[in-house]
């Protein structure tokens, strides 16, 4: 067993850190406040190939795995620039296209994705959140096109992407349950209406409500097999969960670094406040929780990359997502507390990350659904739903 | 055009350095990193080789314990190979011994048209090694370049001065020390990082270079560090009460600093 990062991983981490640090949280917060995107940072990360590290070399990727993408995702967030679309575009969409796309489809989308083009992902619906069997958006084959109808909600970054991977029902199985399929839809397709959802998260990426009104999707945009969408999506959900965990862990590292620096510098009575155990111990506890979560992230990514038992990777990815979601928010909250009133001042760059850190306990999968999964899959407890 | 770049692998400057209490030399144990000031030379070399339509960029380094971590960073940026001199006999080497070793290593690297170095290392600061290498090789030495061009076998640099820059020309081969900012060093790409592991590093000893252990290290050193003292604490600034003429004092102060 070897817990040491390889020289390549250390170098990758260092390079990503240097790029992201040259932008830093101030850039991220300023772009957000101005209603602009983090395009320049995204491009700077994409340029050396860091957003395609996990994709096959034949399609312009780096030939690595989710382990490498996790390093990229965490390191950017740890510099105060959590990029949600790494999770959506690089983790889910690119992984699904790479795994289930035909050679033509891979050639069509992967080189662009490896170079930093974005594809976003639409699964959640107003009446179907965690229960994917209730997805109502449907696609009906009509000659050589699918006709798409329905509504999707909380879809990140639609305004930044040329295409969206949509999960839609294409039929029913014998038990009357929805059979799901995956379609790549152009974001400027006629009949697709995009409405921003006002949301209390200070990030450059925006959330959208999508309404598909008889949107024509060429049949060659079906990824993988018709009716196999759910199984295929589950393959992409492990990387998604791992990246969600990485964003949380990155925010946690960022917050603890700021809190440690502040508590070492700030003197209220005779010694720096970090010498007081009332300040130091909560930060130390956060550090323990954070490092435990990061270990599980590394394990989950390793299991996913080593293509062994998919349920083992799923279990680890869920646990990593849970642990990092809790730890990231705990680190941020404790860092804010350490800063006293300054913790809420924009200048200190902490409180504006709260919305995203808080979201990551809910999405991409809620902590309650993870606990259900662990209770049933890991402990063998009976299910209630 | 084949270019050799001298690169030093140093302790991470972000970590407070420690001096050996006996020899007063820097503790260089543990992992070393590429001296950031050398990344400019590496980038310059890559751009010059690219512009010349080909040729290898070879790294030249001397480091304890066969250390390659810093070399891997420069190999990941795009250098083709490295010569690393590592030998216990080198401990305690002064600047001239270091230059002798590097000059021999450059010769070992083979057909070299141009040598690039930084102006000085971040952990040693002697700033003498580039000139010494040039002297030992018998090649022209061009220093403090903030711009480097090679056209039809002729080398032209802009040498930074207080007032602006001098244009200096030379034939090849030559040794050029480049300033930080001569070019913007690239970040290694993921493919570069993965490829670096398999690039050749020619590891050699003092004997391999045809040098005697007596000429290097403690025994060959012509300098001795007799004492080390802490830098004086920063003195308090000057307070100016404004009686209507404070701006003149400020202007005089800035003029003395040569910032205006």
Residue that is last in its domain, among A194, A225, A256: A225
Give the model confidence (pLDDT) of B167-218 as tens digits: 999 999 999 999 998 999 999 999 999 999 999 999 999 999 999 998 899 8
Residue A65: give its domain's CATH number.
Answer: 1.10.540.10
Asked if the structure places residue A357 within a domain, the reply is: yes
Asked if the structure places residue A2 within a domain, the reply is: no
Residue A159: give its domain's CATH number.
Answer: 2.40.110.10
Mean pLDDT of A120-143: 90
pTM listed for this prediction:
0.90
Mean pLDDT of A308-330: 94
**pLDDT reading at A337 higher than 90:** yes
Residue that is last in its domain, among A87, A118, A149: A118
- One domain for residues A46 and A124: no
- One domain for residues A155 and A37: no
**pLDDT reading at A61 higher than 90:** yes
pLDDT score at A287: 98
- One domain for residues A144 and A258: no
Cβ of residue B196 closer than 8 Å to a chain A Cβ: yes
DSSP one-letter string for B176-205: EEE-TTSS-PPPPPHHHHHHHTTS-EEEE-
| E-assigned strand segments in chain B | 3-6, 9-10, 33-34, 57-62, 81-85, 114-118, 141-151, 154-160, 165-171, 174-178, 201-204
- One domain for residues A185 and A78: no
Which residues on B lie below 8 Å from A50 (Cβ)? 190
Cβ of residue B69 closer than 8 Å to a chain A Cβ: yes
Do A50 and B192 count as a contact with CB atoms less than 8 A apart?
A: no
Helix/strand/coil for B33: strand
- A254 phi/psi in degrees, rounded to 5: -60, -45
Between A108-122, B37-51, B119-133, the lowest mean confidence (pLDDT) is in B119-133
pLDDT score at B124: 82
**pLDDT reading at B7 higher than 90:** yes
At residue A18 the predicted structure's pLDDT band, cuts being 50, 70 and 90, is very high
- One domain for residues A274 and A343: yes
Please name which of A101, A82, A372, A112 lies closest in space to residue A243, comparing C-alpha atoms.
A82
- The shortest CB-CB distance from A12 to any of B186, B193, B197 is to B193
- One domain for residues A345 and A298: yes
At residue B46 the predicted structure's pLDDT band, cuts being 50, 70 and 90, is very high
Residue A241 in contact with residue A361, Cβ under 8 Å?
no
Return mean pLDDT, chain A. 95
The ipTM is 0.88
- One domain for residues A40 and A177: no
Measured CA to CA in angstroms, residue A308 lies from A66, A187, A314 at distances of 14, 36, 11
Question: In this prediction, what percent of chain A has a pLDDT beyond 90?
Answer: 90
- One domain for residues A114 and A163: no
Number of domains into which chain A is organized: 3
- One domain for residues A242 and A177: no
Asked if the structure places residue A384 within a domain, the reply is: no
Do A11 and B197 count as a contact with CB atoms less than 8 A apart?
A: no
- One domain for residues A345 and A206: no
Do B187 and A12 count as a contact with CB atoms less than 8 A apart?
A: no
Do A53 and B190 count as a contact with CB atoms less than 8 A apart?
A: yes
> How far away is chain A from the Cα of B74, in angstroms, using its nearest Cα?
11
At residue A384 the predicted structure's pLDDT band, cuts being 50, 70 and 90, is confident
At residue A369 the predicted structure's pLDDT band, cuts being 50, 70 and 90, is very high
- B43 phi/psi in degrees, rounded to 5: -65, -45
pLDDT score at B111: 93
Residue A336: give its domain's CATH number.
Answer: 1.20.140.10
Give the model confidence (pLDDT) of B99-143 as tens digits: 999 999 999 999 999 999 999 998 888 899 999 999 999 999 999
Which residues on A lie below 8 Å from B73 (Cβ)? 11, 14
At residue B43 the predicted structure's pLDDT band, cuts being 50, 70 and 90, is very high
Do B190 and A50 count as a contact with CB atoms less than 8 A apart?
A: yes
- One domain for residues A264 and A310: yes
pLDDT score at B209: 96
Domain housing A356: 230-378
**B60/B202 Cα distance (integer angstroms):** 10
Cβ of residue B66 closer than 8 Å to a chain A Cβ: no
Residue B149 in contact with residue B155, Cβ under 8 Å?
yes
pLDDT score at B215: 86
Q: If contacts are CB pairs under 8 Å, which of residues 12-31 in chain A contact chain B?
A: 12, 14-15, 18-19
Structure-block tokens of residue B197: 């592991």
Asked if the structure places residue A385 within a domain, the reply is: no
In words, the CATH class of domain B3-256 is: alpha beta
Identify from B70, B77, B184, B193 which residue to disrupt to test chain A contact, counting A C-beta atoms within 10 A and taking the largest count.
B193
**A82/A201 Cα distance (integer angstroms):** 12
Do B194 and A50 count as a contact with CB atoms less than 8 A apart?
A: no
**pLDDT reading at A245 higher than 90:** yes
Identify from B190, B192, B195, B199 which residue to disrupt to test chain A contact, counting A C-beta atoms within 10 A and taking the largest count.
B190
At residue A28 the predicted structure's pLDDT band, cuts being 50, 70 and 90, is very high
Cβ of residue A7 closer than 8 Å to a chain B Cβ: yes
Q: How many residues does chain B have?
A: 260
> How far away is chain B from the Cα of A15, in angstroms, using its nearest Cα?
6
Asked if the structure places residue A44 within a domain, the reply is: yes
Measured CA to CA in angstroms, residue A7 lies from A13, A52, A64, B33, B198 at distances of 10, 19, 14, 12, 12
- One domain for residues A135 and A159: yes
Residue that is last in its domain, among A225, A252, A279: A225
Identify from A13, A15, A61 which residue to disrupt to test chain B contact, counting B C-beta atoms within 10 A and taking the largest count.
A15
Instruction: Specify which residues B53 forms β-bridges with.
Output: none
pLDDT score at A299: 96
């Amino acid at each position: 067993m070897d817990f040491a990062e390889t020289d390549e991983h250390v170098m990758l981490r260092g390079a990503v850190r240097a790029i992201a640090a040259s932008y830093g949280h101030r850039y991220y917060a300023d772009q957000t406040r101005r209603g602009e995107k983090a395009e320049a940072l995204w491009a700077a990360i994409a340029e050396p190939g860091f957003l395609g590290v996990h994709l096959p070399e034949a399609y312009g990727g780096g030939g690595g795995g989710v382990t490498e993408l996790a390093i990229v995702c965490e390191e950017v967030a740890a510099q105060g620039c959590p990029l949600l679309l790494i999770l959506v575009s690089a983790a889910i969409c690119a992984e699904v296209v790479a795994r289930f796309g035909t050679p033509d489809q891979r050639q069509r989308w992967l080189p662009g994705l490896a170079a930093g083009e974005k594809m976003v992902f639409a699964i959640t619906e107003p009446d179907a959140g965690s229960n994917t069997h209730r997805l109502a958006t449907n696609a009906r084959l009509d000659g050589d096109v699918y006709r798409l109808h329905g509504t999707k909600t909380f879809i990140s970054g639609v305004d930044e992407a040329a295409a969206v991977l949509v999960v839609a029902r294409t039929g029913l199985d014998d038990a009357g349950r929805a059979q799901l399929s995956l379609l790549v839809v152009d974001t400027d397709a006629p009949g697709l209406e995009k409405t921003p959802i006002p949301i209390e998260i200070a990030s450059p990426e925006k959330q959208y409500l999508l309404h598909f009104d008889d949107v024509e999707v060429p049949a060659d945009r079906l990824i993988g097999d018709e009716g196999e969408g759910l199984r295929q999506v589950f393959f992409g959900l492990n990387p998604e969960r791992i990246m969600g965990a990485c964003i949380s862990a990155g925010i946690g590292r960022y917050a603890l670094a700021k809190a440690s620096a502040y508590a070492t510098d700030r003197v209220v009575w005779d010694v720096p406040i970090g010498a007081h155990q009332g300040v130091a111990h909560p930060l130390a506890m956060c550090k323990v929780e954070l490092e435990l979560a990061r270990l599980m992230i590394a394990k989950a990514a390793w299991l996913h990359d080593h293509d062994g038992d998919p349920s083992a990777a799923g279990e680890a990815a869920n646990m990593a997502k849970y642990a990092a979601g809790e730890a990231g928010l705990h680190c941020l909250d404790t860092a804010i507390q350490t800063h006293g009133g300054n913790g809420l001042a924009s200048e200190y760059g902490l409180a504006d990350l709260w919305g995203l850190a808080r979201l990551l306990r809910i999405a991409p999968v809620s902590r309650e659904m993870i606990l259900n999964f662990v209770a049933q899959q890991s402990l063998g407890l009976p299910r209630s739903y | 055009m084949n270019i050799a770049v001298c690169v030093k692998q140093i302790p991470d400057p972000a970590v407070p350095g420690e001096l050996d209490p006996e020899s007063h030399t820097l503790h260089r144990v543990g992992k070393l990193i590429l001296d950031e000031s050398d990344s400019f030379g590496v980038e310059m070399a890559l751009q010059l080789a690219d512009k010349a339509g080909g040729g290898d960029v070879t790294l030249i380094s001397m480091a304890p314990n066969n250390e390659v971590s810093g070399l891997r960073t420069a190999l990941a940026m795009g250098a083709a190979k490295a010569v690393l001199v590592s030998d216990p006999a080198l401990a305690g080497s002064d600047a001239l011994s270091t230059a002798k070793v590097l000059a021999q290593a450059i010769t070992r690297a083979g057909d070299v048209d141009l040598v690039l170095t930084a102006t000085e290392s971040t952990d040693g600061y002697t700033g003498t090694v580039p000139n010494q290498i040039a002297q030992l090789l018998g090649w022209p030495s061009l220093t403090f370049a903030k711009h480097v061009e090679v056209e039809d076998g002729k080398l032209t640099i802009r040498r930074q001065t207080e007032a602006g820059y001098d244009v200096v020309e030379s034939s090849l081969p030559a040794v050029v020390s480049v300033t930080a900012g001569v070019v913007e060093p690239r970040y290694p790409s993921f493919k570069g990082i993965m490829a670096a592991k398999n690039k050749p590093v020619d590891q050699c000893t003092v004997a391999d270079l045809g040098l005697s252990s007596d000429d290097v290290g403690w025994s060959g050193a012509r300098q001795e560090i007799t004492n080390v003292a802490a830098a004086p604490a920063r003195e308090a600034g000057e307070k100016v009460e404004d009686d209507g003429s404070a701006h003149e004092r400020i202007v005089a102060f800035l003029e003395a600093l040569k910032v205006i």
